[in-house]
Amino acid sequence: MAKITLSIIKADIGSIGGHIKPSQKLLETVSNYIKEKGRGLIIDSYIGHTGDDIAILTTHKKGPSNPKIHKLCWDAFLAGTKIAKSQGLYGAGQDLLVSAFSGNVKGMGPQVAEMEIEERPAEPFLMFMADKTEPGAFNLPLYLAFTDPMHNAGLILSPKVKEGFKFVIMDVSYTKVDKIIELKAPEEIYDIAALLRDTGRFVVESIFSRASGEQVVSASTTRLHNIAGKYVGKDDPVMLVRTQKDFPATGEILSPYTITPLVAGFMRGSHNSPLMPVKKNTSISFFDGPAIVSCLAFCEKEGKLTESADTFDHPYWDYVREQAAQETQELRRQGFFGADMLPMSELEYTGVMETLKELEKRFKIRKK
């Protein structure tokens, strides 16, 4: 059986009209670069966008964190940035935080999700891309899809699925090296929940089947402001999920997106919004949001990809989108107040801090 690596590398390198979507020419530039320069290195590729982010999916046999694969994508983003600058796109090269490539794009700005798999006779998998949000946005959908029979009927009906899953969770506030914990579902689901509720700090990095030991999920964990030390846009995560047979079914993985979890990253990376499931190549609009997630389904054979099936392009999800829009309105009615705007620690602009510093000088202690 062939060992194949699936790699998603994604970045915001410039957008039309604000933070809306990349230009056609930008997408074509990245796509052509991968096709031309990836010859002999990769087996297949798919390039698409969600909001203002361009994601490159490649299949190859080089394993995760391969410098050649990472450099190919980095250079494709550099080529794209040149075009973005020439077109006057907004935020050209925004996510390319360092000037020289150093072997691995992790920690350089782009989001990365990779997985080496022992190919099954049929290999269905999902490519998730989110915009105007952070890696913790996948926490609740993953928790529900892998631990809760209300979403995953396989936990009751399939003996292999019932054996449960191992969650690898990262503390993303620790930036020196990776700090991770492994927890087992179902025995430790309350501990898993205790961590995953804190979406800004604890993020699911990967999930493994306990029946076979195989990897099922790989999600990106980079938090840009932890790298850059200042606001440079939200992190807009990507994720790979293998499905069916001894893993959750595609529909079980999708099921939790019905509840449109509240996530951080709306307007100026500083507000909460429901996570709206959208069709592929959807742009951003109202109040620079709301947070969106797309999900493309593929099958692959020896690295050759099928065309994508757009999982959220279905009448059922129109209804969910409408619900998400209503929830967004309810939240927006609160404006800057309460749960609408993020807490101080998560605000992506420093303006409030400066205002508070100035106002502090004007506070007086009243004499009794």
Q: Which is nearer to Mg ion, 183 or 232 (CB)?
A: 232
Q: Is 19 in the site for Mg ion (CB under 5 A)?
A: yes
Q: Is 233 in the site for ligand F6R (CB under 6 A)?
A: yes
Please name the residues in contact with 164: beta carbons below 8 A apart, sequence gap of 6 or more. 184, 185, 186, 187, 210
Check 12, 52, 131, 236 and give the catalytic one.
Answer: 12
The site that binds ligand F6R (CB under 6 A) totals a number of residues, namely 9
Closest approach, Cβ 269 to ligand F6R, in A, equals 5
Closest approach, Cβ 93 to ligand F6R, in A, equals 13
Please name the residues in contact with 86: beta carbons below 8 A apart, sequence gap of 6 or more. none
Check 21, 106, 132, 234 and give the catalytic one.
Answer: 234
CB distance 232 to 224 below 8 Å = yes
Nearest CA among 16, 15, 9, 2 for reference residue 34: 9
Amino acid (one-letter) located at 8: I
Conformational region of residue 88, where left means phi above 0, alpha means psi within -120 to 50, and beta covers everything else: left
Q: Is 288 in the site for ligand F6R (CB under 6 A)?
A: yes
Closest approach, Cβ 136 to Mg ion, in A, equals 15
| Residue burial 146-160, b: 16+ Cβ < 10 Å; e: rest | bbbeebbebbeebee
Nearest CA among 101, 99, 111, 114 for reference residue 72: 101
Beta bridge partner(s), residue 53 = 50
231 is catalytic: yes
Q: Is 141 in the site for ligand F6R (CB under 6 A)?
A: no
Interacting positions 114-153 with Mg ion (CB under 5 A)? 131
Q: Which region, judged by CB under 6 A, interacts with ligand F6R, from 62-70, 106-114, 165-173, 264-272?
A: 264-272
Nearest CA among 260, 154, 266 for reference residue 209: 154
The residue at minimum Cβ distance from ligand F6R is 288
Q: Which is nearer to ligand F6R, 14 or 303 (CB)?
A: 14
Q: Which is nearer to ligand F6R, 288 or 300 (CB)?
A: 288
Q: Is 132 in the site for ligand F6R (CB under 6 A)?
A: yes
Q: How many angstroms separate the CA atoms of 123 and 245, rounded?
A: 10
Residue of 151, 223, 268, 321 that binds ligand F6R (CB under 6 A): 268
Closest approach, Cβ 51 to ligand F6R, in A, equals 8
Q: Is 242 in the site for ligand F6R (CB under 6 A)?
A: no
Q: What is the DSSP letter of 199?
A: T
Q: Is 340 in the site for Mg ion (CB under 5 A)?
A: no
Q: How many angstroms separate the CA atoms of 23 and 203, rounded?
A: 31
Q: Which is nearer to ligand F6R, 174 or 349 (CB)?
A: 349
Q: Is 236 in the site for Mg ion (CB under 5 A)?
A: yes
Amino acid (one-letter) located at 243: T
12 is catalytic: yes
3-state class percentages of the chain: helix first, strand second, coil last, to nearest 5: 30, 25, 40
Q: Is 18 in the site for ligand F6R (CB under 6 A)?
A: yes
Q: Is 271 in the site for ligand F6R (CB under 6 A)?
A: no
Residues at the site binding ligand F6R, with contacts judged by CB under 6 A: 18-19, 132, 233-234, 267-269, 288
Among all residues, which ones are annotated catalytic? 12, 231, 234
